[in-house]
Amino acid sequence: MDKYKTEVEMLENYDANKYKTPDGYTSDIAVFTIISTEVEKHKPPVKELKLMLIQRAEKDAEGQPNVEGSKWALPGGFVQPDETAFEAASRELEEETGVTNLKIKHFGTYDKPGRDKRAWIISNAHYAIVPENQLVKRKAADDASDVQLFTLEEVSQLELAFDHEQIIADAIWIIKKDMGLTTLAKNFLPEEFVLSELQGVLLTVLDDSWIKLDSQFFRKAPSLPFIEKVMVDGELKKSNRWSKNKAQLYKFTDYEPFVSIYNANY
Amino acid sequence: MDKYKTEVEMLENYDANKYKTPDGYTSDIAVFTIISTEVEKHKPPVKELKLMLIQRAEKDAEGQPNVEGSKWALPGGFVQPDETAFEAASRELEEETGVTNLKIKHFGTYDKPGRDKRAWIISNAHYAIVPENQLVKRKAADDASDVQLFTLEEVSQLELAFDHEQIIADAIWIIKKDMGLTTLAKNFLPEEFVLSELQGVLLTVLDDSWIKLDSQFFRKAPSLPFIEKVMVDGELKKSNRWSKNKAQLYKFTDYEPFVSIYNANY
DNA sequence: ATTTTAATTAACAGTTTGTTATTTGTTAAT
DNA sequence: ATTAACAAATAACAAACTGTTAATTAAAAT
């Protein structure tokens, strides 16, 4: 019946030297933000999806060459025994960006033997979405530092530490999926937004031909069950932040849509 | 700049006693199957979703009372340093069911401090789908053993070890989600199947009112892009396995459907 | 004032939905 | 054999929704 023993049964008659245990348990976070750069007044700005990376030091504290030194890596760190990997990610993200209440999601465990040459290190990967205005101030504060935002294009050119290239590829795949399947876009947008802003956010991440076609998107969007028109005193609230003509403001509702491949449109 | 150190930078000037490391790294697997029981010839059988659990021994090898003894738990075990948690899950599942090539998916990491009273044990949770015919023979082989299949109804009545109640709840939630969003149903079905079988599998897991309505489901299903009619020599292949009248056989195609909440039907 | 731009509405044919009814082939019972 | 019962497949049809193009509205720029 040996094969039916669970971890803890095995631990019962378990002496600490008999089973090897991991040498480190860490959390890494792929921090995404969308940077808008205004090109012209009353024009929708150019939006770009960016990822925050840190550059590993060339030399360690003793002045010795650092392993994977000078390469770029996801921010992260050790999980402490009194917290979960998720909590560690949240704590570390707060330390690095100074922003709280961010959307964080655990999306994978990276534990392939040899991913770190020197030890058995497990990493829990998370993604986080930071509204751009919150990150921009920090970015300006310490420019030319070892923390930088890169477009995905740029990231693909960088030398990345460990298996972070894979983790980043997975993170990108996941946020694309979640962007289409959940109301993740909410985390990139202000409380109240205009349909073209929503479309912009979606297209920055997604490249979906249906969303790209204005006539289709703007026709269907107003009746999506998870957003609603903003009203003030029974009047429709509008904005001309991005366009010459006033456009309707929307906000997300609490409704969490559920779709299925069995009654979808193809 | 301390806050920007990644796990491995920290490991550089890291002495093994300074940072606590996990005491155990394990994989658990929620093994699901659908059991069909024929009630009448030429009638669709009653289908039930079942979960495989093992009962923890009352006493350990030394005859001492076992922690969480006699409670039911997910099968699982330690991850070895030369494999990933996913590989461990796959290996253990094979050991327990004797079946290979199963659909396994990692869906969560359970590392809340205190989830195991005695040590810092991390569990990676996976779900697996076993076609019923493959599991049934094993089940018959050692009946009245400490391995049993339970309906979800029954599971909710059981005393479960550790945080497995939570893990199981999450697993159920995930397979419901994946059942509607991916072609997961494929793993519960034979290569060739009839629409009512597909509907039966979906409803066993999902309880979706749209799928439940025959008129809607049978009308739309034939044109779903991820299944196709089975042909032999240019003739439609039919079967009357489940009904008096011959029904069209279908099989899954390679097409992986992608749906989005932005152009879905509500 | 006139032109330009962008958001919104309107219009319309073609398609897909939800629904109900009909047809077809098969089993089971008289 | 004839008939009743049944389930799969098909037909029919109004209502809703799709993709698309055109018209309308309002503010900005000239």
The CA distance from A108 to A74, in Å, is 14
Count of CB atoms situated within 10 Å of the CB of A64: 11
Determine the nucleotide nearest to B246 by Cα–C1' distance. Answer: D8
In this structure, what token pair is assigned to residue A99?
């922003």
Predicted pLDDT at B2 = 39
Label residue A37 exposed, middle or buried (CB < 10 Å: 0-12, 13-18, 19+). Answer: exposed
- This prediction's pTM: 0.88
Nucleic strand D near CB of residue A245 (< 7 Å):
yes
Give the distance from residue B216's alpha carbon to the nearest chain A alpha carbon, in angstroms.
Answer: 9
Chain A residue with minimal CA distance to B85? A111
Residue-averaged pLDDT of chain B = 85
Q: Two tokens at A142?
A: 């310490």
Task: Write down the H helix ranges in chain B.
Answer: 7-12, 85-97, 132-141, 152-155, 164-181, 195-205, 209-212, 214-220
Best residue in A6, A79, A105, A182 to probe B by mutation, most B CBs within 10 Å?
A: A6
Minimal-distance CA residue of chain A relative to B54:
A4
Q: What average pLDDT does this structure show over A200-212?
A: 91
Q: How far apart are CA A199 and CA A214, in angstroms?
A: 9
Q: Cα–Cα distance between A264 and A135 in angstroms, integer? A: 37
d(CA B215, C1' C15) / Å? 19
A185-A190-A194-A197 Cα dihedral, nearest 10 degrees: -50
Is the CB of residue A69 less than 8 Å from the CB of residue A58? yes
How far in angstroms lies nucleotide D23's C1' from the CA of residue A215?
A: 15
pLDDT of residue B233: 80
CA distance A58 to A200: 39
**pLDDT value at residue A48:** 92
Q: How many Cβ pairs within 8 Å bridge chains A and B?
A: 240
Measured CA to C1', the nucleotide nearest A42 is D28
Beta carbons within 8 Å of B38's beta carbon, 6+ residues apart: B45
DSSP, collapsed to helix, strand or coil, labels residue B71 as coil
Question: Does A1 have pLDDT greater than 80?
Answer: no
Q: Could you report the per-residue pLDDT of B122-179, keeping only the tens digit for each?
A: 999 999 999 877 765 555 445 446 888 999 999 999 999 899 999 999 999 999 999 9
Model pLDDT for residues A39-84, shown as the tens digit of each residue: 776 677 888 999 999 988 777 777 788 778 789 999 999 999 899 9
% of chain B with per-residue pLDDT over 70 = 87
Cβ–Cβ < 8 Å for A6, B54: yes
10 Å CB burial of residue A124 (0-12, 13-18, 19+) is: buried
Residue B100 has pLDDT above 90, yes or no: no
Q: Please list every residue in chain B whose beta carbon sits closer than 8 Å to the beta carbon of residue A95.
A: 3
How many angstroms separate the CA atoms of B109 and B72, rounded?
20
Q: DSSP secondary-structure letter at B44?
A: P
DSSP state letter for B79: P
SS (H, E, C) chain B: CHHHCCHHHHHHCCCCCCCCCCCEEEEEEEEEEEEEECCCCCCCCEEEEEEEEEECCCECCCCCECCCCCCEECCEEECCCCCCHHHHHHHHHHHHHCCCCCEEEEEEEECCCCCCCCCCEEEEEEEEECCHHHHHHHHHHCCCCCEEEEEHHHHCCCCECCCHHHHHHHHHHHHHHHHHHCCHHHHHCCCCEEHHHHHHHHHHHCCCHHHHCHHHHHHHHHHCCCEEECEECCEECEECCCCCCCEEEEEECCCCCCCCCCCCCC
Nearest by CB to B4, from A4, A24, A146: name it.
A146
**Distance of alpha carbon B123 from alpha carbon B119, whole angstroms:** 12
Q: Which amino acid is at B228?
A: E
CA A263 vs. chain centroid, Å, equals 29
A209 CB closer than 7 A to any strand D atom: no
Query: And the tokens for B5?
Result: 């150190």
Quick check: B81 and A18 in contact, CB under 8 A? no
B5–A77 C-beta distance less than 8 A: yes
Contact B112 A24 (CB under 8 A): no
CA distance B258 to B18: 48
Are the beta carbons of A259 and B262 separated by less than 8 Å? no
Give the model confidence (pLDDT) of A99-145 as tens digits.
888 899 999 999 999 998 888 999 999 999 998 777 655 554 454 46
B73-85, pLDDT tens digit by residue? 999 999 998 999 9
Highest mean pLDDT among A81-85, B66-70, B241-245: A81-85
Average pLDDT over residues B106-122: 92
Strand pairing of B72-73 and A235-236?
unpaired
Q: Which residue has the higher pLDDT, B42 or B206?
A: B206
What are the chain A neighbours of B222 within 8 Å (beta carbons)?
Answer: none
Partner residue facing B261 (CB), from A9, A73, A181 = A181
Six token digits for residue A104:
């964080």
Among A24, A26, A27, A25, which residue's Cα sits nearest to residue A119?
A: A24
Q: How far is the CA of B200 from the C1' of C28 (A)?
A: 26
Q: Distance from residue A170 (CA) to nucleotide D16 (C1'), in Å?
A: 39
